[in-house]
């Protein structure tokens, strides 16, 4: 992995911290930053040292203020059809690693959609979430129209998208958009605390649980239950399952081998 211009990468105790680093532009996601994010995720996928990925924004003002509007201004109709930001966020959602968005300041437009593509969202009380794309004459096209309604319900998603209103972290927690609130100077600790709970779990089981939830969510119930059954059958065949159950019986912590 090469050093990046707009993304700071650090791996600590199995957590890969990705810090979007354009604070002077409120961490707006230009093409170069999106490419670096894609590259980092691609690298992490093949790297067993990385157990989990935490995304945050540099500085105090913003997680990410959305797609870079200067670049957006020049884009033509057919350019909206390339995988682009939507394709990248799909890869993030489908990553075999657990992803956490640690949000302080603005998570707007494509920044909010990035957080929506992560598995777990943690925010400060005064974080600011919103999908203000309609102000620009476009729609939330990086999964926002779909993921927001699946996470907070269709009524709330319609309200947020059509009014472009911006909600704070407390409101986001109340409606289920974020799972945890943290004080500003405690956000990283909270993210690592949540991460440490995930990292104790069997890595194969993590992948299978993510797959069953994400793939099952939009399938009919019978198909979704079948996905769950098949995923469980795979889990039953792993060394991790032998070790996890054995460790419980021996009253010790499990040491999973990811096999």
* Residues forming the active site: 113, 133
In sequence order, what are the residues at sequence separation of 6 or more whose Cβ sits closer than 8 angstroms to the Cβ of residue 103? Answer: 56, 57, 63, 115, 121, 122, 123, 124, 127, 129, 169, 178
Told to check if 106 binds ligand CO8 by CB under 6 A, we report yes
| CB of residue 141 to ligand CO8, shortest distance in Å | 4
- Interface residue with ligand CO8 among 18, 55, 68, 120 (CB under 6 A) is 68
Told to check if 116 binds ligand CO8 by CB under 6 A, we report no
Q: Got the DSSP string for 77-92?
A: GGGGGSSHHHHHHHHH
- Interface residue with ligand CO8 among 136, 175, 213, 224 (CB under 6 A) is 136
Told to check if 164 binds ligand CO8 by CB under 6 A, we report no
Considering the complex, state which of residue 22 and residue 210 has its C-beta at the smaller distance from ligand CO8.
Answer: 22
The C-alpha atoms of residue 138 and residue 115 are separated, in whole angstroms, by: 19
SS3 40: helix
Going by C-alpha positions, the residue among 122, 114, 148 that lies closest to residue 34 is 114
- Write the binding mask 80 to 99 for ligand CO8: x where contact by CB under 6 A, - elsewhere: x---xx--------------
Contact 154, 96 (CB under 8 A): no
CA trace torsion 227, 94, 203, 240 (10° rounding): 30
| CB of residue 6 to ligand CO8, shortest distance in Å | 13
Told to check if 69 binds ligand CO8 by CB under 6 A, we report yes
Q: Which residues bind ligand CO8 (CB under 6 A)?
A: 25-26, 28, 61, 65-70, 72, 80, 84-85, 106, 108-110, 132-133, 136, 140-142
């Amino acid at each position: 992995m090469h050093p990046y211009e707009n993304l700071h990468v650090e791996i600590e105790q199995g957590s890969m911290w990705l810090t979007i680093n354009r604070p002077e532009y409120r961490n707006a996601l230009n093409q170069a930053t999106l490419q670096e994010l894609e590259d980092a995720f691609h690298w992490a996928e093949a790297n067993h040292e990385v157990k989990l990925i935490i995304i945050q924004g540099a500085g105090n003002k913003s997680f990410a203020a959305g797609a870079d509007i200067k670049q957006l201004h020049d884009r033509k109709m057919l350019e909206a059809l390339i995988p682009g930001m939507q394709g990248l966020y799909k890869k993030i959602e489908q990553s075999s690693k657990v992803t956490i968005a640690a949000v302080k300041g603005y998570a707007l437009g494509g920044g909010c959609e990035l957080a929506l593509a992560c598995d777990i969202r943690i925010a400060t009380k005064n974080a600011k979430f919103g999908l203000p794309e309609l102000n620009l004459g476009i729609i939330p096209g990086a999964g926002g129209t779909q993921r927001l309604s699946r996470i907070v319900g269709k009524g709330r998603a319609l309200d947020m998208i059509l009014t472009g209103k911006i909600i704070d972290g407390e409101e986001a927690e109340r409606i289920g958009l974020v799972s945890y609130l943290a004080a500003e100077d405690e956000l990283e600790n909270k993210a690592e605390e949540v991460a440490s709970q995930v990292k104790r779990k069997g890595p194969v089981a993590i992948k299978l649980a993510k797959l069953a939830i994400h793939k099952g969510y939009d399938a009919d119930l019978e198909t979704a239950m079948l996905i769950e059954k098949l995923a469980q059958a795979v889990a039953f065949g792993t060394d991790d399952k032998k070790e996890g159950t054995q460790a419980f019986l021996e009253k010790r912590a499990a040491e999973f081998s990811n096999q």
